[in-house]
Amino acid sequence: MLKDKVLADRYEVIEPIARGGMAEVFRARDNLLNRTVAVKVLHPEFASDPAFVERFKREAQAAANLSHPNIVAVYDWGQDGTTYYIVMEYIDGRSLRDILRADGRIAPRRAVEISAEIASALQFAHRRRVVHRDVKPGNILITRSGEVKVTDFGIARAIGASEGLTQTGAVIGTAAYLSPEQAQGLAVDAKSDVYSLGVVLFEMLTGRVPFAGDTPISIALKHVNEDPVSPRELGAEIPQSLELVVLKALAKNPARRYASAEEMRQDLVRVERGEKVIATPLTPEQVDAEAAERQPDEPVVERKPRSWPFWIVLVLLLALLGVGLYLLGKSLGVFSPPAEVALPSVVGQTYDPGAKQTLEKLGLIPEPTYQQSSSADAGKVLSQSPAEGVNVRVNSKVQVVVGQGPGTARTPKVIGISKDEASKIITSAGFVVGNVKEEHSDSIEAGIIIDQDPVADKDVVKGSPINLIVSKGKEKVKVPEVGGKDQNDAIRAIQSAGLQVGNITQQQNNAPPNTIISQNPKGGTEVDKGSSVSIVVSTGPKQVVVPGLVNMARSAAISALAKESLKANVVTCTPASSGQEGKVVAQDPPSGTEVEKGSTVKITVGDTTAGGAVCPSG
């Protein structure tokens, strides 16, 4: 039991997540890089078999060299005691096999999307001369976000590599998804993977594989000898163009299939767009030819032995015929050394018309392969093999790589994430970051993407720019200085600055009534637009009541006013009687009047020494 075991003092095994014929896959923790990974462990019964160990190692090497968004990445491979393991990218999702078992058929549009991404992954592997050889729903993973990942290159092999680990003619792969050439134990190339992808697409559209049987051998024979039923006859509600794509991929003769996985992917994109596909129905002549290719040799009919004179005559006739053919061939130059031509350069030329016709006129056979390129190089020859100037025999094959333009991809969604994260996602999806504009937002924090153009999930030419609008957060404004302003003027100034008036507090103060005596925040402070500013409004100085002063002695009256924070303005008059001497005979304002603190009260005091008008009588 591997659970809780740490492999190579680094990979902590957590739980099993899948099991196959030769290995089991576990979710694990890479303690060095602090990330979740998937660890595939070879079953113990195979760990002692050098052939299985070598095949297991080859899977790691094959996949480790394939870095593509639709291929599960391989990080590491190693041995811990008798345990052999491969460390891979952990995919949080389900296999296409599990999805088909749970849901049955898949909607045609989604099936086309999935197949196009598988084709993209296979084309990437084929360009690196690696054929998967086991394309099936169990080896296709779908993440929770809908991304497609091809995995399990356990039986992959470099194109043209020797069999090495299998006997010649051995059949490797899953019977329901085998190509006819795999079923017959013949050598396979990239077109074998195209056939298997056709089987997977057929199953997604119809809910069943095109060929089924009681044993793997019976299924394999059907791949070789029987034609698939039309998907539309099985109730698949799909356009004829999509059916043509499926049937072209499932052609028995590899020469009648798509030339490459990329060519199939392009046809799938055409189906999505409602455009005409390159796949066409087989003509009656092609149907007859395919049937003839699959006919077994005629049985040998037993005949009576011939007499010896018959054989002598036959040998003489054959000898004369041979001499005649030799003389004829010599006169025609058949037995001369094969003609050679110096190979010209066709790099930079348009392939068709152009380079193709140039090579054919020289008696050479151009074999094009296609790869993504710049828009300017679309349709042009990017490289050739053999190179210019090499002498090659007439009827030799010349490999040419033709640009097919940048291709298209779905734009990723980057709204709601940071600018740095968005840039990484845009780049990894095959696009470039275009114009970046910043705008204020009341609801989205600074540094987060508000909008993008083009929008997400749109087919766009790879390498195109994606323009972004990034939030600057809430707009900042300066708080106006409103101290000393009239209340109404202060409110207008606050609102004009894009701010709101907060709490309004009244307070007695020496300032005139309705004058702003303080504010919060202070004037000149930078705040978010729409913030509140609180103000304190003066109700004016505090009011006091003038005390009664008449008949008080002069000094007592002054003291009484001072006690109320009032001032005295003393005037004198000539007493009308002796009782008015030194006393207040009148005051202004009168007793009981409310006045502001610090106000002056006029008091009239009787004083015989001062002269002047006669004091009013009581």
Provide DSSP, 350-376. Answer: BIIIIIHHHHHHTT-EEEEEEE---GG
Catalytic: which of 49, 134, 267, 528? 134
Q: What is the band of 162 on the pLDDT scale with cuts at 50, 70, 90?
A: very low
Burial class (CB in 10 A: 0-12, 13-18, 19+), 279: buried
Q: What is the band of 303 on the pLDDT scale with cuts at 50, 70, 90?
A: very low
Closest CA to 177 of 121, 228, 110, 239: 228
Bridge partner list, 532: 500
The CA distance from 55 to 215, in Å, is: 25
Joined together, the tokens standing for residue 459 give 């087919």
pLDDT for the residue 155: 46
Residue ranges and CATH numbers for the domains of the chain are 6-89 (3.30.200.20), 94-292 (1.10.510.10), 341-403 (3.30.10.20), 408-471 (3.30.10.20), 476-538 (3.30.10.20), 543-606 (3.30.10.20)
Range 142-153 burial, b when 16+ CB lie within 10 A, else e: beeeeebbbbbb
Cα–Cα distances in angstroms (integers) from residue 241 to residues 132, 268, 281, 458, 571, in the given order:
27, 9, 10, 22, 117
Cross-sheet strand order for the sheet of 93-95 = 93-95, 140-143, 148-150
Cis peptide, bond prior to residue 575, ω within 30 of zero: no
Rounded mean pLDDT, 65-70:
86
CA 16 to chain centre: 28
Joined together, the tokens standing for residue 141 give 């993973």
Q: What is the band of 143 on the pLDDT scale with cuts at 50, 70, 90?
A: very high
pLDDT for the residue 320: 58
Which residues, at least 6 apart from 291, have a Cβ–Cβ distance to it below 8 Å?
none
Lowest-confidence pick of 204-213, 257-266, 379-388 = 379-388
Q: Is 134 a catalytic residue?
A: yes
Closest CA to 550 of 608, 615, 613: 615
Which residues, at least 6 apart from 169, have a Cβ–Cβ distance to it below 8 Å?
185, 186
The CA distance from 565 to 597, in Å, is: 6
494 with 482: CB under 8 angstroms?
Answer: yes
Rounded mean pLDDT, 194-217:
93
CA 518 to chain centre: 54
Provide DSSP, 494-545. Answer: HHHTT-EEEEEEEE--SSPTTBEEEEESPTT-EEETT-EEEEEEE--SPEEE
Task: For Cα atoms 293, 295, 298, give the angle at the middle one, nearest 5 degrees.
Answer: 125
Instruction: Count the neighbouring beta carbons within 10 Å of the beta carbon of residue 270.
Output: 18
72 with 87: CB under 8 angstroms?
Answer: no
Which residues, at least 6 apart from 269, have a Cβ–Cβ distance to it below 8 Å?
116, 408, 459
Q: What is the band of 174 on the pLDDT scale with cuts at 50, 70, 90?
A: confident
Rounded mean pLDDT, 275-291:
65
**What share of the chain in percent tops pLDDT 90?**
50
The one-character DSSP state at 569 is E
Q: What is the pTM of this model?
A: 0.49
Q: What is the pLDDT of residues 577-613, one digit of tens each?
A: 888 999 999 999 999 998 888 899 999 999 988 777 8
For residue 166, is pLDDT > 80? no
